[in-house]
Structure 1
Amino acid sequence: MLIQAAMKYLLLFSCVFLLPFSNQAQVQESDSLSLNVFLSAHPDDWQLFMNPNAYEAIKAKSQVLFVHTTAGDAGTGMGYDDYTLAREAGSLNAIRYLVNIAHGGRGKGPHGVAQSVEIKGKKIRAYPYKHTTAYFLRLPDGNGDGSGYDIHQFKSLEKFYKGEVKALHTVDSSAQYKNKKDLLKTLKALVKKHHKIGQLLRFHIADTNAKRNPGDHSDHRFTSWLIQEVAKDFSGAELYFYKEYSSNKDPMNILGQAFLISAGTWGVTAQGLTDFGHYSTWDSGHNAWVGRQYFTKTMVE
């Protein structure tokens, strides 16, 4: 199925050049002239697969967006003792942690009350913190294989992207997307809200090449497909494609101080769950991804 999808959307790459495989952090310029957008299908993805690049972007005083497409609710919606809010809290913990250790000094305290930002008629939760902003679209978790959950009428981002289902609602009923085009318009407008003309733009997304990134979650892959379409409107943008689930079998390549930062980021993410009374994800299964970051880089003409 993934091979067929890749063939179907091959034209997305007609204006993109693939650069050699990399395993080291590369977001290291010492200015604030760039915009880095980290696309996270679930509220704990970027911490495990896109760090320490996330830290380096923050350290460089780049403007940084963390856009979470689904609630990662595992079929609970807004129920089950605020599981969705707990996962969001973990991501917000991680963002504050990275900002405050990157720049030292006094923090600003918690993110505070969420802003309800309206983009293309859609209400989206946003949490600004210094030079970062976290967005939570709260689309339904699609399950690992894209089959969806009963609570969401078995709808998923994959089925929505392929046109197999219509009218995708957020888990909190704050917004409804009529079709893929509607969602793409919203994502493009969100990026354009922050992107300045001439500003270097980087998208950080899951690798959709099944050979480099086998066995990935459906939500990861189809969040990436969406952003690859969005990127076509931003000539000169860079795309970073990350190896995700299967990277836990690769050698550890993040060492020293960078490893401590990555481990700390995951620790405060896991705390978001325990603060809401859920089991911690600080365990051998999840921790196997800490200290590993593999990605390739492309550029849009």
Structure 2
Amino acid sequence: MTGIVFHVSGHPDDVLLFRGSHLWNDLTWTGMKTVVVVTTAGDAGFENGWWQAREAGLVEACRVAGGGAAKPEVITVKGHTATHAVTRYLAPTWRCYFLRLPDGNLDGNGFPATKNQSLPKLRDGKISGIDSVASGGASLASQHYASWIEVVDTLHGILTAERQGSDTVHPWVNASDYDRKRDSGSHPDHYATGDALQTFVHADGYYRAWWLSYCTDGRPTNLSGAEYDHKRKLYYSYVEKVKQLYGGAPPCDFDGEWARWGKRCYWSEEKS
């Protein structure tokens, strides 16, 4: 295997809703290693298994397209400033990394259940640190990020390590657009994830595909045929796994979200 491509998502379903047709192509491309990284748990302030179900749903979607079962393992990622424990699901041709940082909420202020911590607040210096939801609220050294740069370093470390041994000179990084004008009205976690990547992807020679998210609702549909069918299969593989694992009524409208974004995929590219 010589090729590699990255998809970096703020929440477990972002890449499925906004870039799913491309993710399917990458997962089914012979000789391609597909790396998916998710920065937040997408917990929405719930402590009843919601984020665990969402994480498992994304892993299931990757399995359906890419094949090969993957079990979670905890690995250490070394950055320039600290070392952090990150959960990884490893399959022969794909892998998923989950930082499991708290969901920032639609206003970027987080949720009481996770001490109102969020990536946007950490980036903006409004809080001095952030804990993974998997730490149970305790500031475990390996799951506590003491600064914004530690989050950036962890993302940088994951991409750098996975890139080793690949013949791809300029790997593509697919991620939420950092540009507030192009991707107006997006989730604060989407912007924060794009902002973190922006600090190093250009200098490291990655090609970038910045996908648009919420603002595409109402734009002309531009997916049909196999592209649409593959994206739908990925997304509903996620949905069915979440429903299977989550004990209560899901706190989101899966079909409603699909109706808004399922037939749409918009992005911009940067290569220089």
Shift of 1:233: 3.7
Matches within 5 A, 1:15-34: 32-34=1-3
Q: Classify 1:278/1:272 alpha carbon distance in 2 versus 1 (closer, same or farther; 3 Å).
A: farther
Q: Please say if 1:192 is aligned against 2:160.
A: yes
User: Which residue does 2:179 correspond to in 1?
Assistant: 209
Aligned 8 A contact 2:77 2:86 in 1: yes
User: Which residue does 2:258 correspond to in 1?
Assistant: 286
Aligned 8 A contact 2:57 2:242 in 1: yes
Shift of 1:54: 0.8
Deviation readout 1:29-55 (Å, 9 max, x if unpaired):
xxx533211111111110000121111
- Give the structure-2-normalised TM-score: 0.89
Shift of 1:60: 2.3
- Give the structure-1-normalised TM-score: 0.81
Residue 89 of structure 2 aligns to a residue in which SS?
strand
Q: Classify 1:273/1:279 alpha carbon distance in 2 versus 1 (closer, same or farther; 3 Å).
A: farther
User: Which residue does 1:132 correspond to in 2?
Assistant: 94
Residues matched between the structures, number: 256
Residue 231 of structure 1 aligns to a residue in which SS?
coil
Q: Classify 1:210/1:184 alpha carbon distance in 2 versus 1 (closer, same or farther; 3 Å).
A: closer
Aligned 8 A contact 1:143 1:149 in 2: yes
User: Which residue does 1:13 correspond to in 2?
Assistant: none
Pick one of 52, 58, 71 that aligns with 1:85: 52
User: Which residue does 1:22 correspond to in 2?
Assistant: none
User: Which residue does 2:123 correspond to in 1?
Assistant: 161
Cα distance in 1 between the residues matched to 2:204 and 2:262: 32
Matches within 5 A, 1:249-264: 249-264=218-233
Shift of 1:248: 2.1
Aligned 8 A contact 2:73 2:88 in 1: yes
Matches within 5 A, 1:25-174: 32-61=1-30, 62-76=32-46, 79-80=47-48, 82-100=49-67, 108=68, 110-112=69-71, 114-120=72-78, 121-173=83-135
Aligned 8 A contact 1:273 1:279 in 2: no
Structure 1 unaligned segments of length 5 or more: list them: 1-31, 101-107
Q: Percent identity?
A: 25
**Pairwise CA RMSD of aligned residues?**
1.6
